[in-house]
């Protein structure tokens, strides 16, 4: 199957003990991530220290680095929240949406106290939901997409792979 030029990315960041971070992105030709085009990994040697309420200042430059050179980016899926409350207080995903100009889906593994608007999504045999938020598309559309992404486990395969690559580098399975 041939790609139509659109690229869908699932990305994650892992912080290294050396004050740096490793980011990974799984790139696909479809929003379900059933046709993977490739993987990208980058290490950023220096990242900002964690500051409560400003997590995006630490993570966004690392996402920018791993997605540099990706042409045709049409959707970004991140581990975390797009917005942090129903009033739209921006989280990482909202800042990524502004940065890259594409729809962003946030997939969080745990509930955030103020994110009462997040759509719970159960996948596979999971009994604990994922919490989905979005920018550039409706939360309902994003939740439907996450529910149908490739993989039989709670977390879609593309996010599981991005997480593994970000944690351990290219030797991760």
State residue 161's pLDDT score. Answer: 97
**Per-residue pLDDT at 172 exceeds 50:** no
Say what the pTM is: 0.91
DSSP 8-state code for residue 48: P
pLDDT digits (tens, 9 = 90+) for 56-73: 777 899 999 999 999 999
pLDDT over 90 for what percent of the chain?
A: 78
Report percent pLDDT > 70 for the chain.
Answer: 93
Q: What is the pLDDT of residue 4?
A: 80
What is the 3-class SS of the chain, one letter each residue?
Answer: CCCCCCEEEEEEEEECCCCCEEEEEEEECCCCCCCEEEEEEEEECCCCCCCCCCHHHHHHHHHHHHHCCCCCEEEEEEECCCECCCCCCECHHHHHHHHHCCCEEEEECCCCCCCCCCEEECCCCCCCCEEEEEECCCHHHHHHHHHHCCCCCCCCHHHHHHHHHHHHCCCCC
- 3: confidence class by pLDDT, cuts 50, 70, 90: low
Confidence of residue 95 (pLDDT cuts 50, 70, 90): very high
Per-residue confidence (pLDDT) for residue 7, from 0 to 100: 98
Give the H/E segment covering residue 76: strand 73-79
**Whether pLDDT at 149 is above 50:** yes
What confidence tier does 49 reach under pLDDT thresholds 50, 70, 90?
Answer: confident
CATH number for the domain formed by residue range(s) 7-168: 3.30.2170.10
* Stretch 98-109: mean pLDDT: 97
- pLDDT the model gives residue 173: 39
State the average pLDDT for the chain. Answer: 91
Query: Could you state, in order of their start, the residue ranges of all structural domains in the chain?
Result: 7-168
């Amino acid at each position: 199957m041939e790609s139509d030029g659109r690229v869908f990315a699932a990305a994650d960041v892992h912080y290294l003990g050396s004050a740096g971070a490793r980011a990974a992105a799984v790139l696909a030709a479809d929003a379900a991530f059933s046709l993977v085009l490739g993987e990208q990994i980058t290490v950023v040697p220096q990242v900002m220290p964690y500051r409560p309420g400003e997590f995006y200042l630490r993570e966004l430059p690392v996402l920018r680095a791993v997605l540099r050179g990706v042409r045709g980016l049409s959707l970004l899926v991140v581990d975390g929240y797009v917005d942090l409350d129903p009033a739209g207080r921006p989280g990482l995903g909202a800042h990524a949406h502004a940065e890259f100009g594409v729809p962003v889906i946030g997939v969080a593994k745990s509930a955030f106290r103020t994110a009462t608007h997040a759509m719970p999504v159960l996948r596979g045999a999971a009994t604990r939901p994922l919490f989905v938020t979005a920018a550039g598309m409706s939360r309902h559309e994003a939740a439907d997409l996450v529910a149908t992404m490739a993989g039989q486990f709670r977390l879609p395969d593309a996010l599981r792979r991005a997480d593994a690559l970000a944690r351990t580098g290219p030797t991760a399975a």
